[in-house]
Structure formats: C-alpha cells, structure tokens
Chain A
Amino acid sequence: MVNRKVAKVLTFRYTILALILVILAAGLVLLPKYQKHEGINPEELLSKAISPERYISTDILADRLVNQDPSFILIDVRDEAEYTKYSLPNAINIPLKKLLDEDSVPYLNQSQYNVILFSNDNFNADQAWILCNRLNYKNLKVLKGGLNEWFKTIINPVKPTENMTALDFELYSTRKAASMFFGVAYPEQFKVDTPVIVKKVAPKKVITVEKKKKKPAEGGC
C-alpha cells in the first residue's frame, strides 16, 4: 500500500521539483532587503588602521628620495596655497576636498606605485587614508608626523648632546647629509678652512755652556 502511495506522489515528481524552484525564487523576491556593507569589511579596515605598517617614517622617505626610488608617488593632501609654498620634491597636490574627484582616482587607485600621503601632521593624511581604504584602494601609506616631522627630523635635525649614544650621532649625520641633499645650507659648508699654519719648530740651538776650565788655583796670598 505504501508503495502505491509513493508511486502516486512520484508521478508528480517533476511538478514538485518545479514548484520547489519557483518557491525558492519567489522567496528571494519576497525576503526583506537590507543595506549591504560595500567595499572593505570593517574588521579588515580596523586591522589595517591599527597596523604600524601603514606609516612610513621620514628617515625612510628621505632615504628613498635620495636614492631616487621610482616605486612610489607622493601625494600632498593640503590646500593648494600651502602646497605652492612648500612641498616635498615631486609631490602631487590632491587637496582632501578633491580626493574623491574623478581626476585624482588614477593616482590613488592603481597597483604600480606605492602611494605616500602626507599633510602638515598625520591627521588630514590619515583621513585621506581611511577614505581611500574604504574604497578598497591598495598600497597606501601615510608619512608619519607629516611635514612637521619632516622639518624636525630631516630639514632641521636636532644636534645630539654629548651624553647621547654613537647611534644618535650617526643618525644626525645621515639626517644632516639628507638635509643638504634637500637644499639646506650649513654655515660650516661655507667656512673656508683657513690653513693652520704649522709653525716650523726651529731646531733648538743647543747652547753648550762651556764650562769654565777650572783654572788652577793660583796661589794667592
């Protein structure tokens, strides 16, 4: 009896299968829709944001600039006025307001170069970094401390005091050399070394004091 019942149902097997498909498809239409999170997912953004790897230090940047490393582009996110006043060599000016313009996309959204963002401090560059990361752009870095740090460390390095380690002195001399590369002139560069006149040491005349010959005591009185 069971078999006959099963057989009866099975005659409709294709109809049932078709119905299942239709119900499932209708379910997709009827399900309540929700706003999907687009772009980078929050966990990934957070882990990128707290990773120190997203910063590049001024020393490394100076080293790359000096060595003419072609693998990165510098992007200045400050205003145009500030940019014209001073910027890093070969930097491209994309003010924060124009970051999402169509013209700036080719610079930011590409995979050939590392993009180094900088502003006066971290803040504006960090904002630009977050915005670009939300759009899933790759290879973005922020100059740690921005131009202020650049001035403090590279352009105008602090001379180490005498009680500091040899490493500090080495770092200072590298930074000083870098600053010379970027056009800072130091007074000692212009100081003409006045040749130290080494006085010829005149050979000492040995004055031999002739000892008076002892005169034989003359007989006196």
Chain B
Amino acid sequence: MGPLIPNGVIPYEWSNIIAIIIGIAFGFVLEASGFSSSRKLAGVFYGYDFAVLKVFFTAALVALIGILYMDYLGYLDMGALYVHPTYLWGAIIGGAIMGVGFVAGGFCPGTSLCAVAIGKVDAIIYVIGIMMGVFIFSELYFLFQPIYEGSFEGNITLMDTFGVNRYWFVFVFTIAAIIIFALSDQIRKRVKKIFY
C-alpha cells in the first residue's frame, strides 16, 4: 500500500500541499514545546536541559520502530523509501560547522525559522547569518565542489554498512537511547540549575 504518493494512493499533485500542512504542524509543535528558545536548545550542550536530545532521539526511535512494523505487516514497502545519499567528508565537515553554529547561536535551522515566526531578534540575526552563509557558499561553490560532491558512498544505511540484522540494530539502538536518556537525567541533576 505505502508509500502513499509513489503508489498513487494520494495523487502526486497533493504532495506540496501535504508538505505545507505537515510543516505548519511541525512548526506549531516546535514552538509550543519551547523549541523556539535558544536557551533551551543550547541547554543540551551545557547540561541543564536535554529536551532536544530526548525529543529527536525519541522521534527517530518511534519512526524506526513504526516503519519496521509497517514493513513487516506489509503496509509499507521499505525498498521504495528515499535514503539520503552519503557524501562522507561533506557530511562530517558540514556537521561540524552546523554543530558550532548550534552552540554559538543556540538554534538549528528549523527552530531558528520557528523563532523568527514569533519575532525573536536573535533568531532574525541568525537567519540573516544563514542567508549570508548560503550566499558565500554559492559564490565560492567552485572551491567547495570537490568536498561537496566527493567521497560519495551512495544511498547507504547503517544496516548495510555494518551488515547487521536491522531488527537487532533497532533493539540495541532503543536500549542505547534509553540508557542515554537516563544518563542525561543524571547529568542534569548534577549541573547547577539554571532558570531561563
């Protein structure tokens, strides 16, 4: 049956409209759960708030387990899902830059737009910074191109790379996530409380 749009259950023309609806819902939930505050987001690096870590790990887990169950029951063809291609060095360097930006600015790109929507000045400056970064990258693309397109690994997944059973992988991943949640709670208790 699924995925819905490639299999024609939902016409292809609806995909943009559905994307907008999901985007609005996502932004609303982000804002409502306090993710438009740079203090809350940066808390994960200073150890006083692990909401970001927990939320994104839980989201990944729920999606993983849900997709695997749907695949098992035949509602979803996992082979038809899009796997993002891996450009190894591009991903490593880009991830490092994004991490530095995350610590320094207190936003990730999605939450910064969310904060712009409620009129936060720091977020507005952050987004202007993003735009400048985009501009510089585009203008100097010829310099970055070898990194950007190099070390292409194809549409690989962790299961393929390590050759492990995907169900066992998800089980171990779940246990690891829960241990990380418990540990992060312990760290939070030890760190001096910060009110924000």
- List residues of chain A with CB under 8 Å of any chain B CB: 14, 18, 21-22, 24-26, 28-29, 31, 38
Contact = CB atoms under 8 A, between A and B. Distances in A.
Interface residues of B, number: 18
B142 interface: no
Interface in B156-182: 167-168, 170-171, 173-175, 177-178, 181
A21 B61 contact: yes
Given A26-B171, A28-B167, A21 B72 contact: no
B65 interface: yes
A21 B170 contact: no
A70 to B, nearest CB: 30
Nearest to B79: A38
Contacts of B173: 25
A38 B78 CA distance: 11
Contacts of A24: 65, 69
Contacts of B62: 21
A25 B171 contact: yes
B178 A21 contact: yes
Interface of B: 58, 61-62, 65, 68-69, 72, 79, 167-168, 170-171, 173-175, 177-178, 181
A28 B72 CA distance: 9
Q: Top 6 nearest A-B pairs by Cβ distance?
A: A25-B174, A28-B167, A25-B171, A29-B167, A18-B178, A29-B171
B178 A28 contact: no
A28 B167 CA distance: 6
B69 A22 contact: no
A22 B175 contact: yes
Given A14-B181, A25-B170, A29-B167, 5 more contacts: A18-B178, A21-B174, A21-B177, A24-B65, A29-B171
Given A21-B174, A22-B174, A28 B61 contact: no
B46 to A, nearest CB: 22
13 contacts: A14-B181, A18-B178, A21-B65, A21-B174, A22-B174, A25-B61, A25-B65, A25-B171, A28-B68, A28-B69, A28-B167, A28-B170, A38-B79
A116 to B, nearest CB: 28
B164 to A, nearest CB: 12
Given A18-B181, A22-B174, A29 B168 contact: yes
Contacts of B79: 38
Nearest to A27: B69
B65 A28 contact: yes
A72 B134 CA distance: 43
Contacts of A14: 181
A26 B168 CA distance: 8
A90 to B, nearest CB: 33
A21 B54 CA distance: 13
A22 B68 CA distance: 14
Nearest to A41: B77
A38 B79 CA distance: 9
Nearest to A31: B72
A23 to B, nearest CB: 10
Contacts of A25: 61, 65, 170-171, 173-175
A31 B178 CA distance: 22
A22 B171 CA distance: 7
Contacts of B69: 24, 28
Nearest to B73: A31
A150 B97 CA distance: 65
A34 B179 CA distance: 31
